Amino acid sequence: MAKTLFITGASSGIGAATARAAAGSGWNVSLMARSEEKLTALASEIGDQALAVPGDATDLDAQSDAVAKTVEKFGALDAAFANAGKGLDKPGTVEGDPEEWHQMIHINIMAALFTARVAIPELKKTKGHILFTGSAAGRRHIKGSIYGATKWFIHGYAGNLAEEVREWGGRCTVIAPGMVDTPFFDEPRPDKLKPEDVADAAMLALDADPRNCIREVFLMPNN
């Protein structure tokens, strides 16, 4: 029976690349994002292995409903990837927009917590795996970076959660890329990492022997 992976922020960039990589390795994929049109197109591209569950990852009930639909369709949940996230248009502590901070914190932190909360009861049944999109910005201090601080939270929480889920045979991994050429940035970054590189890192962790918990994969552009 094929394994099943639930992904937030799945309509483009890292999420979409991971969905394609997982499906190519025989996984079923459940895809959540706010962009219903992009999500439906991706699910159609992948085929019967994919389920589109449009919704806002910052809504706990929406994530709970998405996981329920995933299990209903595919029978079980083997992994979840808390990937939804955003940056800031106006960085800086004094110059920044507090409302934008609020939105970013909700999607970068609360949405990830919600994924863990709704997925773990199902992952316990399969001794499953939860992944988070961290960042190189969550591994070093960057002057005034509030975005980086949200990723420090993700790195810390993922480490803490890894200790929790190992009690029942589960695994937890944070995928920490440097700059990736995705719609996250206003301008293309063709000399940086590609979403497929990050998807490869996620699959490395997922495909490791169950005795081996790869707790972090840190990848950087080699230029």
Supply the residues annotated as catalytic.
147
Q: Report whether 35 contacts 12 (CB < 8 A).
A: yes
Do the beta carbons of residue 175 and residue 18 sit within 8 Å? no
d(CA 177, CA 195): 10
Q: How far apart are CA 30 and CA 134, in angstroms?
A: 21
Q: What angle do CA 49, 110, 166 make, to 5 degrees?
A: 65
Amino acid at 136: A
On whether the CB atoms of residues 90 and 103 are closer than 8 A, the answer is: no
Q: Which residue has the tokens 């159609």?
A: 44
The DSSP symbol for 144 reads: T
Length of the chain: 223
- 186 Rama sector, left if φ>0, alpha if ψ -120 to 50, beta otherwise: alpha
**Using CA atoms, how far apart are residues 133 and 193, in angstroms rounded to an integer?**
14
C-alpha to C-alpha distance for 111 and 208, rounded to whole angstroms: 26
